[in-house]
Amino acid sequence: MFKIIVFILFCFSFSSILPQSLALKSCLSGNCRNGKGVFLDSFGNECKGTFVNGKLEGYAEVKFKNRETFSGVYKNSSIRSLGQWTDPETGKILYGTWIEDGDCDKKGCKTWAKFIPDSDVECIFRGLFKENRKVGKGSYTCINGESFDGTYANDLANGRGKLRYSAGIIFEGEFKDGHPVFK
């Protein structure tokens, strides 16, 4: 019985030390616990900035594994600010407001570039997000002339809206799951 208790205590103490040692191995330079440092996260993204209790806090720069970069203000390791995003393919810098894992302020939020899945057309969306999904009143404008102004639910156009196609054709009416409803 004594050996079992000692073994359980050993396993418990080892498991509580293990995450700390793994976190220390991911710190590339500086103080990634409480100070300035460069940290490689579990996704392969390189985070450079100020850390408080092991989390990004304040201005930071992130180089994502896919070569995208983002610089802006973090709070508890979540993006909460105006920032800039760099497209790795074109090098183009896009600016906007990003609120990750939460609600936007009354002024709304902006996101950028290629928010339309499987599209090479660059668009800028202006509107509200909740939990990284478009909700409520919002609009987008694309470089090819397409634009939309209306209501979003579940990250898609749902409800009343006005869509102007790049060819100049306009649809004004109801949308469901991102598509016009033709009656």
Supply φ then ψ for residue 2, to 5 degrees.
-60, -40
| Co-location of 82 and 26 in the same domain | yes
**140 and 79 share one domain:** no
Burial environment of residue 79 by CB neighbours within 10 A (0 to 12, 13 to 18, 19 or more): buried
Same domain, 87 and 55: yes
The reply to whether 90 and 118 lie within a common domain is no
pLDDT, residue 153, reads 92
Are residue 119 and residue 86 in the same domain, yes or no?
A: no
Q: Looking at the structure, tell me whether residues 21 and 94 fall in a common domain.
A: yes
Q: For the domain that residue 76 is a member of, what is the CATH number?
A: 2.20.110.10
Identify the domain containing residue 149 by its residue range: 102-183
Same domain, 133 and 174: yes
Q: Assess whether 73 and 152 both reside in one domain.
A: no
Q: Cβ neighbours of residue 50 under 8 Å, at least 6 residues apart?
A: 35, 36, 56, 57, 58, 59, 60
Q: Which of these three, 101, 131, 146, is where a domain ends?
A: 101
Amino acid identity at 96 = G
Which of 30, 77, 71 is CA-nearest to residue 52? Answer: 77
User: Are 92 and 122 in a shared domain?
Assistant: no
Domain boundary among 83, 101, 119: 101
Note whether 19 and 92 are same-domain residues.
Answer: yes
Which residue shows structure tokens 């000692």?
6
Domain end call among 101, 127, 161: 101
Per-residue pLDDT of the chain (183 residues; tens, 9 = 90+): 333 333 333 233 323 322 333 343 589 999 999 999 999 988 788 989 999 988 888 888 988 887 888 888 777 666 656 677 777 777 777 666 655 544 444 444 544 444 454 556 677 777 776 655 778 888 888 888 889 999 999 888 999 999 999 888 999 999 999 899 987
Query: 175 and 144, same structural domain?
Result: yes
List, in sequence order, every beta strand (DSSP E) within the chain. 27-30, 35-40, 46-52, 55-63, 69-75, 78-86, 93-99, 109-112, 123-130, 133-142, 147-153, 156-164, 170-176, 179-180
Q: How many domains does the chain have?
A: 2
